[in-house]
Amino acid sequence: MKWRFESGIPIYLQILERLRTDIASGTYPPGAKLPPVRELALEAGVNPNTMQRAFAELERDGIVYTQRTSGRFVTGDETALRQLRRSLSEGVVDEMCSRLVRMGMKKDEIVTAVREWTSENPENKEGPGSCLKANE
Amino acid sequence: MAVLECIDLEKWYGNVKALNGVNLALEPGRIVGLVGPNGSGKTTLIKLAQHLLTPTHGQILIGGMEPGAETKEIVSYLPDRDFLPGWMNVESLLDFYSDFYPDFDAGRAGQMLDALQIDPHRVFKKLSKGTREKVQLIMTMSRRASVYLLDEPIAGVDPAARDYILRTIISNYSENGLVLLSTHLITDVEPVLDEVVFLKQGHVELHENADALRERTGMSVDGYFREVFRC
């Protein structure tokens, strides 16, 4: 997928968001080896130091780890991944609900709307790491 | 330790102060954008670093040395105009550079010429302006230098080649190399920059990490530039 960056937001934060989403969604599955920083930097057309900074952040959160000689890997720790999905989905839910509130919807109307959506879209149609799963 | 350092650097042309007390320290391993309006002193600063000009006052140091023959060994410089012998074909330019610079990697240059589909048998001066710029940038980036001074490296090339060239810069500078590039096309180079230096009327108006600037101002470097230098 092509990388696009918004102006006015630090690039490492945008990269971080993208990598978190890719890990949460299983684009990079648990335990998978990640591409080298330089390679990803080239692909994204960004400075390798910026990419490195995003990786360092992921490492600090325990989502990826470095093995000295063989590279960087996605954690196999399901708890950390569940935590990641939860925090990502919180952001999405927050944004969605704020918009709905601005549109004039009441809280119970939002809950009803979400419930309707979940019954119309059965669980197995979703990929791993969807909001539904994260909030189970 | 800074690989390029300016200390109270001044350059006067007659009684015009092109640089008026520049203090700057640039670390290795970074890609730094040197930006500023026309006449703000970008090219003067780069020429001082390459010993094409000498300071009126103050100092400029490359790896702790004053610019001269020793620093040219570790600095790869791309001027803002044609500088290669026009009568040579591209292939002989590779030989020329190999003879001249021990750190020149002809294999790498060949690969890049290939990728941009530049025929090595063409004579340099008969190439289009954009292609000449590409060849010059390829020659410059194929040296394993400690410092790359790039004066307007992408101004004359088409957008597709611009992307390629920026990737070339990212993939070719070494981890302890410094890339200092001057440009007006900030939007195009923004994602590759570690730091930006704003020059304004011969002095450093701002020197900051690019992401820190975006975080602080909520603007792109380009957007902030337009605000600082609004006419």
Q: Considering the domain boundaries, does residue B181 fall inside one? A: yes
Is A70 inside a domain boundary? yes
B28 at interface of A, judged by CB pairs closer than 8 A: no
pLDDT band at A132 (very low <50, low <70, confident <90, very high): very low
Cβ of B31 under 8 Å from any chain A Cβ? yes
Domain-embedded: residue A25: yes
What is the rounded CA–CA span in Å between residue A66 and residue A86? 24
- pLDDT tens-place string over residues A78-90: 888 999 999 999 9
Query: Same structural domain for residues A63 and A95?
Result: no
Residues B195/B175, Cβ–Cβ less than 8 Å = no
What is the per-residue pLDDT across B100-116, written as a single tens digit (0 to 9) for each? Answer: 999 999 999 999 999 88
The phi and psi torsions of A15 (rounded to 5 degrees) equal: -65, -45
Q: Say how many domains are in chain B.
A: 1
CA angle, A65 then A33 then B165, to 5°: 100
Residue A102 in any domain: the answer is yes
Other residues' Cβ atoms within 10 Å of the Cβ of residue B119: 11
Report how far residue A96's alpha carbon sits from residue B197's, in angstroms, rounded to the nearest whole number: 39
Work out the number of other CB atoms within 10 angstroms of the CB of residue A33. 12
Say whether B211 and A11 touch across the interface (CB within 8 A): yes
Per-residue b/e over B60-86, b at no fewer than 16 CB within 10 Å? bbbbeeebeeebeebbbbbbbeeebee
Q: Which one of B175, B192, B196 makes the best mutation probe of the A interface by having the most chain A beta carbons within 10 Å?
A: B192
Tokens of A23: 């890990």
How many H helices and E strands in chain B? 9, 9
- B166 to chain A: which residues are within 8 Å by CB? 45
Question: What are the average pLDDT values for consecutive 10-residue runs of chain B, which has 231 residues?
Answer: 94 94 95 93 95 96 94 94 92 95 94 92 92 92 94 85 85 84 90 94 94 92 91 81
Mutation to test the B interface, candidates A4, A5, A37, A49, most B Cβ within 10 Å:
A49
Backbone angles phi and psi of B77, in degrees to 5: -120, 130
Three-state secondary-structure class, residue A95:
helix
Q: Considering CB atoms only, which of B31, B166, B211 is closest to A45?
A: B166
Contact A61, A110 (CB under 8 A): no
Whether A15 and A70 share a structural domain: yes
- When pLDDT is cut at 50, 70 and 90, the band that residue A135 belongs to is very low
* pLDDT tens figures, B39-68: 899 999 999 999 999 999 999 999 999 999
| Residue A2 resides in a domain | no
User: CB–CB of A11 and B223 under 8 A?
Assistant: no
Nearest Cα of chain B lies from the Cα of A110 at a distance, in angstroms, of: 32
> Is the CB of residue B227 less than 8 Å away from at least one CB of chain A?
no
Hey, are the CB atoms on A38 and B223 less than 8 Å from each other? no
